[in-house]
Amino acid sequence: MPLEPGLRAQVTHVVGDGDLAPVFGSGSVPVLATPRVLAWCEEATMAALADQLPEGETSVGMRVQLDHVQPTPNGAEVRAEATLERVEGRRLTFAVAVHDPRGLVAAGRVTRVIVDRERFLAKAG
C-alpha cells in the first residue's frame, strides 16, 4: 500500500536532566535543548512510518526546518507530533510540532527519504 499524506503519529516525553541545553552543548540555560526537540520530532516521524515500509526498507533524515519558539522547563511533559504532508517518490515531508502544557514549543518540517537498508549501509561502510 503506498504512503498517503495524512499519516500521523505522536510521542510524549517528560523533560529530564539529560534533555537540557547544557548537556547538549547547545546553550547554558537549563531548559529543553533544541537538539532534543529535533530528536523527538524525528521519533514522531518514525512512529508514523512504523509498519508502513516494505521489508528491507527504512527512512533516513534528509532535511530539517525547525523553529524552537518557547523554552520548556525540566519536568514538563512534551508532545511531539508528525503528519505526513507530501510524498514525492521516495521523499517524505512531514509537518512537525512540539507542545508543552503552555502551548507551542517548536514547529517545522522534517524530510525523510526511503532507502534500501543494505545498500544504504554499504555506502556508509
Helix (H) or strand (E) holding 23: helix 21-24
- Segment 101-107 shows an average pLDDT of 98
| Complete domains list, the chain, with CATH | 8-124 (3.10.129.10)
- To the question of pTM greater than 0.75 for the whole model, the response is yes
CA separation for the pair 54, 75 (Å, rounded) = 38
Nearest to 99 by CA among 108, 107, 91: 107
CA separation for the pair 49, 15 (Å, rounded) = 24
Residue 66, amino acid? L
Average pLDDT, the chain: 97
- Segment 62-87 shows an average pLDDT of 98
